[in-house]
């Protein structure tokens, strides 16, 4: 890739872009505004870049199962699912790699998608997360750029380490996730042997109108197991579908995988004074401040009958939030609320939610009609507008979520200003054993050895700021 003279970025209509680093929000921590046409254009265009496989998370595997409530969290949420211990619901889970295409190998170094659809009696609840508690960026305006850097060089059509490290070295907020990705946990041994996380800050709310911020954790009950780079490379050559095969085979043999579901709870007011930005996707909440609370157990016990119909057409949306569940001002989450449904409408059609794998297990009453590939009765002759005089479904204010109090001027706030992108990455490094540190440094050195020296030096500066030993060992490994 060659450097060229500076050009002014524009929208598709040729309008100059003033800020391509920060979404338009109400205050520094406030929600993203729909007035941010630049963000909307970028997300909408990005969702339509490939046909027909998913842009990200294209390669995956899925299974059905059951979620059972084992801990009482009814004080935090009005959701009927959590009204008493012992309640349960059917669910569907899809695991995936992020950057690889449909034919790629399962055992590459990459985060894993961990998407859960709970078919509750009040509608589908989708918890769409990863196997890591953080992510590379905190503002969705940079998502398109991040994924482009992880995909293929536009000239050669090849994966390119220079593209990846160039982006990461210019985005210090990525350091926490990069440290996890290149650690021993960067390549899970199987989908059954990895944790899942909602990653974002979500919310719960109860009958009293009280809101709580929440982090979701899904801890494998099979134990964490990982692959070294050498093991992963050998398996990729022998069986590119290793993780997909393992999940199907385990369930067929009755070795049903289980995860313990836990949460961290933060009272709504705490967010205003907590030392860590509570809605920053690159940060975790220390357990000493907000300990894990037991919620339930999920078990996968049935494989799909048809891969395309049930796994490829499964569609998950963070915006699927039944009464008692809510979102947060997390900038990445706010954009995902819009973007996921938009991607499904493009990829599998406007009526994707009525496909069997996505269809709620409770009654559906809506005024949405028609559209490409309408394959059910289309509500027959029932009334298709509201208000009406013919007993059509009515909105009900009892399901209204408590108001979210926001303040601040609408502006594009620099998400890097005053933000410590190094402490948590350094803390993670210092928690590692000698063997884990050696694996981390070795994996990074192998990935960076072909990268231009100026990018190597820029990235090593970030490692140094997280921990001097971290930076010194990578620099030594690269001969710098």
Known catalytic residues? 57, 130
* Closest C-alpha to 311, from 261, 372, 355: 355
- As a whole number of angstroms, the distance between CA 441 and CA 233 comes to 18
Structure token pair of residue 164: 């990846």
Q: What's the helix, strand, coil split of the chain in %, to 5?
A: 30, 20, 50
* Closest C-alpha to 184, from 459, 436, 479: 436
Q: Is 305 helix (H, G, I), strand (E, B) or coil?
A: coil
* Closest C-alpha to 132, from 117, 111, 147: 111
Widest Cα–Cα separation across the chain:
78
- As a whole number of angstroms, the distance between CA 413 and CA 24 comes to 7
Q: Provide CB contacts within 8 A for 312, sequence distance 6+.
A: none
The DSSP-derived string for 192-205 is GGS-EE--S-EEEE
Q: Is 263 helix (H, G, I), strand (E, B) or coil?
A: strand
Contact 403, 210 (CB under 8 A): no
* Closest C-alpha to 29, from 417, 419, 413, 289: 413
Lookup result for tokens 């009755």: 254
Structure token pair of residue 257: 């995988």
- As a whole number of angstroms, the distance between CA 168 and CA 145 comes to 11
Backbone angles phi, psi at 161, to 5 degrees: -60, -30
């Amino acid at each position: 890739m060659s450097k060229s003279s500076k050009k002014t970025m524009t929208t598709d209509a040729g309008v100059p872009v003033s800020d391509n680093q920060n979404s338009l929000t109400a205050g520094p921590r406030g929600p993203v505004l729909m007035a941010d046409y630049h963000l909307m254009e970028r997300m909408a265009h990005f969702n339509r870049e490939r046909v027909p496989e998913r842009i990200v998370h294209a390669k995956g595997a899925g299974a059905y199962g059951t979620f059972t409530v084992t801990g009482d969290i009814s004080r935090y949420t009005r959701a009927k699912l959590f009204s008493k211990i012992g309640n349960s619901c059917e669910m569907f889970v899809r695991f995936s790699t992020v950057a690889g295409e449909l034919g790629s190998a399962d055992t590459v170094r990459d985060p894993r998608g961990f998407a859960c659809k709970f078919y509750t009696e009040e509608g589908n609840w989708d918890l769409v997360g990863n196997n890591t508690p953080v992510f590379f960026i905190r503002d969705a305006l940079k998502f398109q750029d991040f994924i482009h850097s992880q995909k293929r060089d536009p000239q050669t059509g090849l994966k390119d380490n220079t593209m990846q490290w160039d982006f990461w070295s210019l985005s210090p907020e990525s350091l926490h996730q990069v440290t996890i990705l290149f650690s021993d946990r960067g390549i899970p041994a199987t989908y059954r042997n990895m944790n899942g996380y909602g990653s974002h800050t979500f919310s719960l709310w109860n009958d009293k109108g009280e809101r709580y911020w929440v982090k979701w954790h899904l801890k494998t009950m099979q134990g964490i197991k990982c692959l070294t780079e050498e093991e992963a490379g050998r398996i990729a050559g022998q069986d590119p579908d290793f993780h997909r095969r393992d999940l199907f085979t385990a369930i067929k043999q009755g070795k049903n995988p289980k995860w313990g579901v836990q949460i961290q709870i933060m009272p709504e007011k705490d967010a205003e004074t907590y030392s860590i930005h509570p809605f920053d996707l690159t940060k975790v909440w220390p357990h000493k401040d907000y300990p894990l609370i037991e919620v339930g157990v999920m078990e996968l016990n049935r494989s799909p009958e048809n891969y395309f119909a049930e796994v490829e057409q499964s569609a998950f949306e963070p915006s699927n939030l039944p009464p008692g569940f809510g979102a947060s001002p997390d900038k990445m989450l706010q954009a995902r609320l819009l973007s996921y449904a938009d991607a499904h409408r493009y990829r599998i059609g406007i009526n994707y939610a009525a496909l069997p794998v996505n269809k709620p297990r409770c009654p559906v009453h809506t005024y949405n009609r028609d559209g490409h590939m309408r394959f059910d009765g289309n509500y027959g002759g029932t009334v298709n507008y509201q208000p009406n005089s013919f007993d059509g479904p009515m909105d009900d204010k009892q399901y209204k979520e408590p108001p979210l109090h926001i303040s601040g001027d609408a502006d594009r706030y620099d998400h890097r200003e005053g933000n410590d992108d190094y402490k948590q990455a350094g803390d993670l490094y210092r928690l590692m054993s000698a063997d884990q540190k050696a694996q981390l440094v070795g994996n990074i050195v192998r990935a960076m050895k072909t990268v231009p020296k100026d990018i190597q030096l820029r990235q090593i500066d970030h490692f140094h700021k997280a921990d001097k030993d971290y930076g010194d060992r990578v620099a030594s490994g690269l001969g710098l």
